[in-house]
Chains A and B, each alone.
Chain A
Amino acid sequence: MRQFLEGSRAIAETIKLCKPGVISAYPITPQTHIVEELAQMVANGELDSQFVNVESEHSAASVVLGAVATGVRAFTATSSQGLIYMSEVLFNIAGMRLPLVLTCANRAMSAPISIWNDHQDSISLRDTGWMQFYAENIQEAVDLHLIAYRVAEDKSVMLPAMVCIDGYILTHGIETVDMPSQQEVEEFLPKYKPLYKLDPREPLTMGPLADPDYYMETRYAIQETHKKEVLKLIPAIAADFAKTFNRNYNGLIELYHIKGAQKVIVAMGSVCGSIKQVVGELRAKGKKVGLLKISTYRPFPCKEIYEALKNIPKVAVVDKALSLGSLPPLASEIRALFFGKKQKPSVISSFVAGLGGRDVTKESIKEMLRQLNTKEKTGEFIDLKPELLRENYE
């Protein structure tokens, strides 16, 4: 049913339809609306769930870890500092192969403290073993949560998934969303049946100490699951999703006006909406530009991206995060996947935009496309204010 909804409300309604038995969260802007909505649903008796108000994000993640380990579907949401405070537990959840879903309302990292959007929080946790999905709009945010639970709980996967939603832009934005029904969700997402759980009838020890004879295989196993199972499963689940909900995703990447494009922008998250608008306008003027949107960042769909970009002359990669002291994260991975390949773009320029909530405007996007006409750029900041750099404290 089509509804005009705030992003957080739409996500909360979706989580409700997934019927998590335990929800635990600690408030942090801009995640708050999601968990406030869920708390109200529990308070109203609309959602049968244990809502555990904790004293920190570290404990929020630990509570849902304990709940999933006991065989119950669980949910948490956070942002920025909260996500990084959880990070120790997040490595643990993936290492223990517990299929949790977490919403990350993407927000910049302190210092300086900023409540506004970029991708530094979730990108910094790309190596935790979690799957990471990035939503372009509220509809996708809704749909990716359903897909996330389905992939995470698949018996061949059993890994946690993070759905990354641009803070404010999507959490507080209002759009018309086609909301799924309870029946549709139950058709698509079966009840969680754990492979292993804490149960006195069949006692198991979870989280043992692995010495050098055993540790490496646990990490190898996660890597193989990402590379072999998840990359194969996501398009299949997306096809299944289309059958139930009548919305088509590839799940890994989306190609927008790639055919015959001379210049293609690679990006993740809500900025893709603005890029699509610019691409549409330029295409109308006969300019051959396009967009490659990455929906699944972990596992990284190397093959799909390679196939899509190998014949594109010029590529611009937009990062809303940094790896300070090195190449921006997304750009370094896009460049790496062409290493040693014969067919590849002649230019892969890397741009940094939208840090700490600075608007990425249509003009910002056009500027990147213009800069593709010059020599290859690496980590070029868009919309930087050089006059602010003159502060001196000597």
Chain B
Amino acid sequence: MNKHLFASGHTACSGCGQSLAARLVLEASGPSTIIANNTGCLEVFTTKYPESAWEVPFIHSLFENSAAVASGVEAALVYLKKKEDIHVIAQGGDGGTADIGVQALSGMLERGHDILYVCYDNEAYMNTGIQRSGLTPFNANTTTSPVGSQSLGNIRPKKPLPEIANAHAIAYVTTATVAFPQDLQRKVKKAHSLKGPKYIQVHVPCPLGWRHESSLTLEVAKAAVETGLFPLIEYENGKLIGVRKIAPKPVQEYLKLQGRFKHLLKNSEALKQLQEIADYNIQKYDLRAQAT
């Protein structure tokens, strides 16, 4: 029945933020797009033989190499003189992007390929069972950063990957979220309109890993933005050109929605530390909306 480029029948969990984001990204990119995808949930739930949810050319090779495979695709299209007509997307989850794939990503950004890299950030290795990644938030409870008498969860804050990408002096770096689909699609279209490497990090709640009701995916994603824990920013040629302004809510408003932060709600010291992370973002990117 539907004519989406990203077909129904994929096997993502109910309420999966990543499946929603993947469809939004692809629809904003259009049919003349080639995708190279890292190993991870997205690849597994869309391409289980003999089925595929993709209506565009799609290649999955390994966990960490989508940026390099896409570089080869792009180089081949340049050689064939077809690059002008085709968008190339490299994509992966947060682990495949920030940890095991960060070298290939940096190489792709540095070499100047005309590729959009999309990082679907659900803040842990969900495909293998919710292990922490470099993009897991501070004090989040995961299966490899578990809470215990000696532990409050993940010991480090999120790796600042958008900043790292931006340090490569590339055309466009931005963050987006499934909470604001039009904003996400605008950014994807803008990215494709610019030549060179582009990086988008999309915040995609995982109901299973974050432990919230599947119907709450968007509310959770929205709260991440409204507390300042996931700032929406836009860099063009290294210059901050836009942020989504917020009337900051206390971080509890975000944390209380999710089982992975449940252990923090009665711990004032831990809450304070997370609030400091949010406050840092609010100050750094000047997120606070002016009172009118």
Contact = CB atoms under 8 A, between A and B. Distances in A.
Contacts of B60: 205-208
A215 to B, nearest CB: 9
A62 B104 contact: yes
A92 B72 CA distance: 15
B56 interface: yes
Interface stretch (B63-71, B147-155, B268-276, B284-292): B63-71
B43 A63 contact: no
Interface in A14-59: 21-22, 24, 48-50, 52-56, 58-59
Interface residues on B, range: 35 or more
A203 B56 contact: yes
A59 B47 contact: no
B55 interface: yes
Interface in B34-87: 34, 36, 43-44, 47-50, 52, 54-62, 64-65, 67-80, 86
A21 B79 CA distance: 6
B111 A53 contact: yes
A206 B59 contact: yes
A99 to B, nearest CB: 14
A211 B49 contact: yes
A55 B75 contact: no
Nearest to A59: B68
B31 interface: yes
Interface residues on A, range: 35 or more
B282 to A, nearest CB: 35
A24 B70 CA distance: 13
B73 A49 contact: no
Given A22-B76, A200-B31, A63 B71 contact: yes
A220 to B, nearest CB: 15
A359 interface: no
Contacts of B47: 205, 207-209
A318 interface: no
A253 to B, nearest CB: 34
Nearest to A210: B49
A71 B86 CA distance: 15
A50 B49 contact: no
Contact of B48 (A69, A71, A74, A211): A211
A54 B107 contact: yes
Nearest to A91: B62
Contacts of B78: 50
Residue among B36, B69, B72 with max Cβ neighbours from chain A (10 Å): B72
B32 interface: yes
Contacts of A22: 72, 75-76, 79
Interface string A52-84: 111110110011111111111010000000000
Contacts of B55: 203
A200 B65 contact: no
The 10 closest A-B pairs by CB, nearest first: A66-B72, A62-B68, A70-B76, A55-B107, A207-B60, A205-B52, A59-B68, A21-B79, A63-B72, A66-B69
Interface of A: 21-22, 24, 48-50, 52-56, 58-59, 62-72, 74, 88-89, 92, 96, 198-200, 203-211, 214
Given A50-B79, A67-B79, 12 more contacts: A50-B78, A54-B71, A54-B107, A59-B68, A62-B61, A70-B77, A200-B86, A204-B57, A205-B57, A208-B48, A209-B49, A211-B49
30 contacts: A22-B79, A24-B71, A24-B72, A48-B79, A50-B75, A52-B71, A53-B111, A54-B111, A59-B67, A59-B103, A59-B104, A62-B72, A63-B75, A64-B72, A67-B73, A67-B79, A69-B69, A69-B73, A70-B34, A70-B73, A74-B76, A89-B65, A92-B62, A203-B55, A203-B57, A206-B60, A207-B60, A208-B47, A210-B49, A214-B50
